[in-house]
Amino acid sequence: MRIMRLICQIAAVVCALVVSCGAYVAQDHHPVGYSYAKFSGPVSGPEHEVLVKDDHGHGHKVDYIAKPDYHFAYGVEDPKSHVSQSRKETRHGDAVHGEYT
């Protein structure tokens, strides 16, 4: 009986140490950031290779830039909060035209 009690006490101390070590390691953790990029539509004009500098030590990333041509539109209608807005935009090179409400 005494041996079982001693084993339970030792197990409780070991569990407490494991949990406290895990909490200490978790404090030093840096959150991971996520990002995404999506391009759809035809590429117009020549594309240029661009090297993107990485300050986090992962090396350089190669990306490509083409002439920016796009069309998009979206809107929000929320009668409960009385929000009504829309956006339409077109871009050809450096010329951007749009309607915003």
pLDDT digits (tens, 9 = 90+) for 40-66: 556 677 777 777 777 776 766 777 777
> What distance in Å separates the CA atoms of residue 57 and residue 50, rounded to the nearest whole number?
18
For 5, the enclosing helix (H) or strand (E) is helix 2-27
Q: pTM for this structure? A: 0.36
In angstroms, the Cα distances linking 89 to 36, 62, 77, 79, 92 are 21, 28, 18, 24, 10
Domain locations along the chain:
30-100
Q: What is the pLDDT of residues 74-83, one digit of tens each?
A: 788 888 888 8
In angstroms, the Cα distances linking 74 to 22, 62, 95, 98 are 46, 31, 20, 12
Strand 95-100 with 83-92, pairing: antiparallel
For 20, the enclosing helix (H) or strand (E) is helix 2-27
